[in-house]
A and B are shown apart, each in its own frame.
Chain A
Amino acid sequence: GQQLNQSPQSMFIQEGEDVSMNCTSSSIFNTWLWYKQDPGEGPVLLIALYKAGELTSNGRLTAQFGITRKDSFLNISASIPSDVGIYFCAGLDSTSGTYKYIFGTGTRLKVLA
């Protein structure tokens, strides 16, 4: 099935560092979302973006909706140990008349204390 490309695939960072990750698609989306998934849990919505060029923050998280509508970026500032997890981007696809998420391949984040 279709998946969006996320990079990096995984990253180790020191506590307190800033983190950047991105997500690219061959298709245009009108809504981009970022999720975090902890082991044994379902994805939890972090940020939703509705407009090309939009920059939205949620605490230490900031996400941007790419101007081409084919990409999105997530930044985490001053990382802390509980930021560990897998971050997924998702595009909201409604082309077939059903609203469904197309997820990325994930970025696995590990924070070293």
Chain B
Amino acid sequence: ETGVTQSPTHLIKTRGQQVTLRCSSQSGHNTVSWYQQALGQGPQFIFQYYREEENGRGNFPPRFSGLQFPNYSSELNVNALELDDSALYLCASSRGTAAVVEAFFGQGTRLTVV
């Protein structure tokens, strides 16, 4: 039990729709990173939020966006869903950006786009 919770655990959406995934970080952690894990692959970095600001982004298009709230929880939004967006979406929280080695992952949200 890492203290990082994600919701929902599973989700099915239709191509073209929009989706919002949520992450509650561990108490005392002010940094949240989001990763996409396609089936049979390792997680890929999407972006990171630190103190409510985006603090770095991976190779993902602008239709992937995010927010971080004053309580450090975070949302991942994906617009205009494509079939290839089907994946496990993971968030990881840490205390500060350089402390990411001590980041803890949530259980993930399994998104299926049909």
Residue numbers of A with Cβ under 8 A of B are 1, 3-4, 31, 33, 40-45, 48, 88, 90, 92, 94, 96-106
Contacts and interface: CB of A to CB of B under 8 A. Distances in A.
Nearest to B33: A100
B1 to A, nearest CB: 11
Contacts of B108: 40-42
Contacts of A48: 101
- Which of under 10, 10 to 19, 20 to 34, or 35 or more describes the interface residues of B? 20 to 34
Given A1-B59, A100-B56, A100-B100, A40 B107 contact: yes
Contacts of A3: 41-42, 44
Given A1-B45, A106-B41, A96 B56 contact: yes
Interface string B94-108: 000110110011111
A92 B42 contact: no
A80 to B, nearest CB: 22
A45 B45 CA distance: 17
A1 B90 contact: no
A99 B103 CA distance: 11
